[in-house]
Amino acid sequence: MPQKKDKGKAKADAPPKEITEKDLQKLASSIDKIAGKVQARQEKALAKGEAPKEKKVDPVKEAEMRKKVEQMLQALSTMEQTGAIKASGQKDMGSHQFWNTQPVPQYGENITEEGPIEPSVPRDQVRQEPYALPKEFEWCEVDITNEKEITELYQLLTLNYVEDDDAQFRFDYSAPFLKWALQPPGWKKSWHVGVRVSSNKKLVAFISGTPAAVRSHKTVHHLTEINYLCVHKKLRSKRLAPVLIKEVTRRSHLEGVFQAVYTAGTVLPKPVATCRYYHRSLNPKKLVECNFSRVPRGSTMAAMVKKFKVAEEFSTPGLREMKAEDAPQVKELANKYLSKFDVAPVFETDDDVCHWLLPTKDVVWSYVVEDPKTHKITDFFSFYTLPSSVIGNAKHSSLNAAYMFYYAVEVPEKEAADSYDNTRYTKQRLTELMRDALVAAKKVSEYSLTANFDVFNALSLMDNSMFIDDLKFGPGDGYLNYYLYNWRCREIKPHKVGLVML
């Protein structure tokens, strides 16, 4: 997908700079643009019935080129983590007034041994009283089972949550989605922490924790997943975020939980992994109208519509929507598949699987492949919906995105024995399945009033690199950093990340 333009231009007489992550991202984006232009010229020539003037881009060479750029980005990320250079947007450790005081690794730290940074303590040694807020505010627990309170949370987030750098789009998690995300088995109301204005009780800030079992390398942590940190736009830069983070940490400690996992676009000390966003157009016309993507020079809207057309029907025999009785098999399949990644959730019970994967109206969709002969579940995939508000666009107010969630394939014994055959089988099977995931997203769009998907998003994690090119996903300009709190963890490559956070 064509990238949005960078706003700033380097001055001709500016002193030479260090190479930053941004420079390499620009390089990756230039390569995408060149590949896009060549492809557009070829499509145009073919449409006119002419033989393409340039040689067709060799998919293997293109894949190699992409791999090289990803490797450069990875090398850069390693250099950042060892302190050799600074990431764009990364501050000096010393200027992280808050994170400096927290049990997280330093940017330059070379981690060889894993383990907690500070020890767990018994409940009676945990601070019992909440952290102090500025005097005009008070703490609250947001009761998301209460319609009024979930609506308050929805309104806070829909107006104040994450935006892209150009403030064109803002995540718009729906109320049913938030209920689902915040109420997994074992959820705790005390971890849904809000801040209200004391005088009128308006909800102005929020942070959540949910319990999860997550393995990093060989250790399974029963930790807190931190999400939905948000401070009202009018209260920014007043150091409220650190108080929210400390308060949810204290509440985790009270429950005997001393590790956490969280993700952010922002670079903080210090990422365990960094993944890139990829986008697959489903509705190119709307994406262009929203300024999410552009028609490549030399191409036309008609050519884009043709390029991104999705089949009407599934091609994988035995593919059907997941049902509750599939949970035990899906649990086994998912846990086995996820065991090959260096950070991944562990589905401990059928309830976990049912909560996260059973289709939930207008929130999450899951499909399994049932072998027509043995009736065994051999594969599954799932995706969830996350629309974004389109800010200041005359024609559109919302962009609907499907996000790739968990999936697994069972590799038959014959192929599993050999690593080459295993990869070849996985790539072929996954590409076939994910092509059907696009079909499923389109089918959902036809019957759902709220989930009319314009784009399918995925990160460069799990085995996604095996199908993104073939299925016409394009690299975006967004990156997502993964962090562990109070745990030293060796760096993890994107394709070794098996954890998807909402």
Ligand X SMILES: CC(C)(COP(=O)(O)OP(=O)(O)OC[C@H]1O[C@@H](n2cnc3c(N)ncnc32)[C@H](O)[C@@H]1OP(=O)(O)O)[C@@H](O)C(=O)NCCC(=O)NCCS
Is the distance from CB of 195 to CB of 183 less than 8 angstroms?
Answer: no
The residues, any chain, with a CB within 8 Å of residue 251's CB and separated by 6 or more, are 188, 190, 191, 193, 209
Residue 442: helix, strand or coil by DSSP? helix
State which residue, 3 or 160, has the beta carbon closest to ligand X: 160
Q: Is 99 in the site for ligand X (CB under 6 A)?
A: yes
Whether residue 9 has a cis bond before it, omega within 30° of 0: no
Shortest Å, Cβ 443 to ligand X: 31
> What is the Cα–Cα distance from 177 to 384, expressed in whole angstroms?
9
Among the listed ranges 91-99, 279-287, 335-343, 364-372, the one in contact with ligand X (CB under 6 A) is: 91-99
State which residue, 38 or 243, has the beta carbon closest to ligand X: 243
Using the rule CB under 6 A, which residue among 33, 96, 424, 443 binds ligand X?
Answer: 96
State which residue, 145 or 266, has the beta carbon closest to ligand X: 266
Binding mask 113-142 for ligand X (x = CB under 6 A): ------------------------------
> What is the Cα–Cα distance from 124 to 122, expressed in whole angstroms?
6
The residues, any chain, with a CB within 8 Å of residue 220's CB and separated by 6 or more, are 213, 214, 346
Q: Encoding tokens for residue 133?
A: 């807020």
At residue 386, φ and ψ (nearest 5 deg) are -145, 95
Q: Which segments of 280-398 does DSSP mark as H helices, in order? A: 284-289, 301-307, 327-338, 350-357
Q: Is 315 in the site for ligand X (CB under 6 A)?
A: no
Closest CA to 475 of 276, 301, 263: 276
Is the distance from CB of 180 to CB of 187 less than 8 angstroms?
Answer: no
Closest CA to 340 of 240, 217, 160, 501: 217
Output helix, strand, coil percentages for the chain, rounded to the nearest 5: 35, 25, 40
Shortest Å, Cβ 156 to ligand X: 9
Shortest Å, Cβ 1 to ligand X: 23
Q: Is 391 in the site for ligand X (CB under 6 A)?
A: no
Using the rule CB under 6 A, which residue among 87, 229, 440, 484 binds ligand X?
Answer: 229
Using the rule CB under 6 A, which residue among 238, 320, 361, 414 binds ligand X?
Answer: 238
State which residue, 204 or 411, has the beta carbon closest to ligand X: 204
Q: Encoding tokens for residue 321?
A: 């929507």
Shortest Å, Cβ 501 to ligand X: 9
Supply the Cα-derived Rg of the chain in whole angstroms. Answer: 23
Is the distance from CB of 345 to CB of 323 less than 8 angstroms?
Answer: no
Shortest Å, Cβ 236 to ligand X: 4
Instruction: Name which of residues 179 to 198 contact ligand X (CB under 6 A).
Output: none
Residue type, 490: R
Shortest Å, Cβ 276 to ligand X: 16
State which residue, 33 or 96, has the beta carbon closest to ligand X: 96
Among the listed ranges 224-232, 298-306, 329-337, 341-349, the one in contact with ligand X (CB under 6 A) is: 224-232
Q: Is 264 in the site for ligand X (CB under 6 A)?
A: yes
State which residue, 240 or 458, has the beta carbon closest to ligand X: 240
Q: Is 98 in the site for ligand X (CB under 6 A)?
A: yes
State which residue, 35 or 264, has the beta carbon closest to ligand X: 264
Is the distance from CB of 492 to CB of 343 less than 8 angstroms?
Answer: yes
Among the listed ranges 124-132, 239-247, 323-331, 472-480, the one in contact with ligand X (CB under 6 A) is: 239-247
Closest CA to 497 of 215, 278, 258: 215
Closest CA to 168 of 5, 20, 384: 5
State which residue, 192 or 280, has the beta carbon closest to ligand X: 192
> What is the Cα–Cα distance from 182 to 210, expressed in whole angstroms?
6
Using the rule CB under 6 A, which residue among 236, 309, 361, 376 binds ligand X?
Answer: 236
Number of residues that bind ligand X (CB under 6 A): 20
Q: For residue 415, with 0-12 CB atoms within 10 Å meaning exposed, 13-18 middle and 19 or more buried, which class applies? A: middle
Active-site residue 502, yes or no? yes
Element (H, E) at 196: strand 192-197
* Catalytic residue, candidates 287, 433, 480, 502: 502
Shortest Å, Cβ 158 to ligand X: 12
Among the listed ranges 15-23, 29-37, 262-270, 308-316, the one in contact with ligand X (CB under 6 A) is: 262-270
Shortest Å, Cβ 271 to ligand X: 12
Q: Is 239 in the site for ligand X (CB under 6 A)?
A: yes
Using the rule CB under 6 A, which residue among 241, 254, 295, 501 binds ligand X?
Answer: 241
Using the rule CB under 6 A, which residue among 116, 242, 298, 478 binds ligand X?
Answer: 242
Q: Is 78 in the site for ligand X (CB under 6 A)?
A: no
Using the rule CB under 6 A, which residue among 78, 88, 97, 155 binds ligand X?
Answer: 97
CA dihedral 17→18→22→28, nearest 10 degrees, is 100
Binding mask 153-182 for ligand X (x = CB under 6 A): -------xxx--------------------
Using the rule CB under 6 A, which residue among 237, 312, 420, 446 binds ligand X?
Answer: 237
Is the distance from CB of 100 to CB of 91 less than 8 angstroms?
Answer: no
Provide the annotated active-site residues: 502
Residues that bind ligand X (CB under 6 A): 96-99, 160-162, 229-231, 236-242, 264, 266, 268
